[in-house]
Amino acid sequence: MAAALVPAPPFLRPGEAGTLAHFVTLADHGGMPLIVYDVPYRTGQPLSVGTLTALGRLPGVVGVKYATGAIDAATVELLGCPPPGFAVLGGDDVVISPLVAAGAHGGILASANLRTADYAELISLWRSGRGAPARRLGAELARLSAALFAEPNPTVIKGVLHAQGRIPSPAVRMPLLAAATSSVRRAASLAGGRARHGSEV
């Protein structure tokens, strides 16, 4: 299903009531389903579980990309009782495995541009209750994600995709600078392997 990924209003920090009003307007007039992007370290506007729950009850708001930088009591509360039809999707790549283990529906992950099938397998393993191979694969993919985010995103990812011949250029727009060759090489070495956890029990 197509949906628009929309962050909480950045820079202005309108407060949670203002953020909720903003999404009410978008849901009423936007013309397509919305996924709230909860990324306070970029927007400056944290959203409480109460606000996320209220957003999840709005017609047209179908989920949240949850990228708060932590798995904490608020995360556990949100995952314990999300509104019906409201998908909680991980947005912090390094911790996607424990987040899905705790009940997240999946993720929207920059790292999944690489080893995409392994990220899909990770979700499938957790959903099927196969914790041991899921934890091993999750730890492996966390190392990849950490390497990909060693410099400002998406510089390393673009460097690796270019090195693999999958995009024509690693160029990024200012004020971002191209990733260091050493960062790209390290991430590429982790991206090159394909985990084989599917047959493990």
Query: Which one is catalytic: 37, 66, 119, 158?
Result: 37
Query: Which one is catalytic: 41, 65, 66, 158?
Result: 65
Quick check: is 37 catalytic? yes
Asked if 47 and 14 count as a contact pair (C-beta separation under 8 A), the reply is no
Q: How far apart are CA 139 and CA 118, in angstroms?
A: 12
- Coil, strand, or helix at residue 151? coil
Quick check: is 119 catalytic? no
Positions annotated as catalytic residues are: 37, 65
